[in-house]
Structures are given as C-alpha cells and as structure tokens.
A and B are shown apart, each in its own frame.
Chain A
Amino acid sequence: AQSVAQPEDQVNVAEGNPLTVKCTYSVSGNPYLFWYVQYPNRGLQFLLKYITGDNLVKGSYGFEAEFNKSQTSFHLKKPSALVSDSALYFCAVRDSGSARQLTFGSGTQLTVLP
C-alpha cells in the first residue's frame, strides 16, 4: 500500500522569509511524487513533480521540492514567501510499479503573514 504524510496541518511564515512544507511517503516501488495547491473555493492546481533524475525539481510560482530517497521525503520549498502563496498544499504519490491510484496527504494550510 502507498501512503503520504504531511505532519503539519498549519504552517505560518512571514512574507519574504523562506518556507518549507513537509511531506514523507511510503511506496513499495519507486515513487512518482507531486505537489498541488488549492486556493479557496478552487480546484487543485499542479505545482511540480518528481519522476526521476535530479533530486531538486523546480515548478510553478517559484516553488521547488527536494526528493530525498533515504529519508523518503519530498519537502516543498520557496526561498521568499509571498502573501499570495497562502493556500492549502497537498503532496501526492504514485507507485511506479502500479502507476494506478494517486494517493494524497491530508494537506497543509500555509499562511504567509504580511
């Protein structure tokens, strides 16, 4: 079975400071990892993904994430937070062996304070 954990329900950061949203995963094979963002009353928007190759992946709106196989983590980062980054963030995983269901974490509410 595959699973995703987002250990923080809420992350607060001051505007201009770096932000990190944590994600750890569990799969039996190799992971395909994704980050999505959800703004209020909106659907989920894709931010970035890790499939293979370079452990640091860059995505939309200045976000990046680092894949760490030994720690089974895929934390989302941004060097300088904006108030407009405030939203609900979801990490998701697929097992490359099954490539079927996309399993999501419980989400982390990011609030960037002006």
Chain B
Amino acid sequence: GAGVSQSPSNKVTEKGKDVELRCDPISGHTALYWYRQSLGQGLEFLIYFQGNSAPDKSGLPSDRFSAERTGGSVSTLTIQRTQQEDSAVYLCASSLADGGVTEAFFGQGTRLTVV
C-alpha cells in the first residue's frame, strides 16, 4: 500500500482480555517499529524489527507484551491480560534498511482503551 496501515483504528476491551494490534508496513521496508503514546505524552519505544535479525525487545514494558513479524512484512503486537494502564495509542512505523538515514513513516495508530 501507499503508507503504513494499522488495524483496528480503535479498540475497546475489558480488563483482563487479550488484544492483537496489526501493522502492515510500506512495501519494501524491512525495518519496523512499535511505539506507545499515552495521552499528551511522548513516544515510548516498544520493539524494533530489522529483516531477519533478532528483534530489539528492550522497550517492552512487561512479559504481557509480545510482537511478531511474519515473513518480514506484517507485524502483530499482542497484549495479554490487559490492564487499564495499557490504554494508549499504539503507533507502528517502517523504514528502509539503509543504515538508518531514511526517515520512518508512521501509521495512524490504534487507540486502545481498557475498561
């Protein structure tokens, strides 16, 4: 597609349920990032995928969070046993694998509300 696509755009879930957030990066972009943005706050890094390399999971806040990237393209961020503090906008971005000189392109985000 023309840009980074994220789905769903909005998700309301009950506390304790699991959720899956999807990111479809720009075709040909081998680098993929997940960030979390709480209301009025900055971007918190979660996880980074680069080609077939092991992902950088250093930003995942707890073991309830996990992410995978299938076939080097689509990525799914899974949050198990959701808590109210997980409520935020989850942003996905992708970029070319060119040594980091290319900017990352962001999707519109998934707004997660845990009630």
Contact = CB atoms under 8 A, between A and B. Distances in A.
A101 B91 contact: no
A107 B42 contact: yes
B91 A44 contact: yes
A104 B42 CA distance: 7
Contacts, number: 56
Given A101-B45, A104-B42, A106-B42, A94 B100 contact: yes
Contact of A44 (B45, B50, B58, B106): B106
A68 B13 CA distance: 46
How big is the A interface, by class? 20 to 34
A1 to B, nearest CB: 10
B102 to A, nearest CB: 9
B65 interface: no
Given A43-B107, A44-B106, A100 B56 contact: yes
A87 B50 CA distance: 31
B56 A106 contact: no
B108 interface: yes
A96 B99 contact: yes
B42 A49 contact: no
Contact of A107 (B41, B100, B106): B41
Contacts of A104: 35, 42-43, 45
Interface of B: 4, 33, 35, 41-43, 45, 48, 50, 56, 58-59, 91, 93, 99-101, 103-109
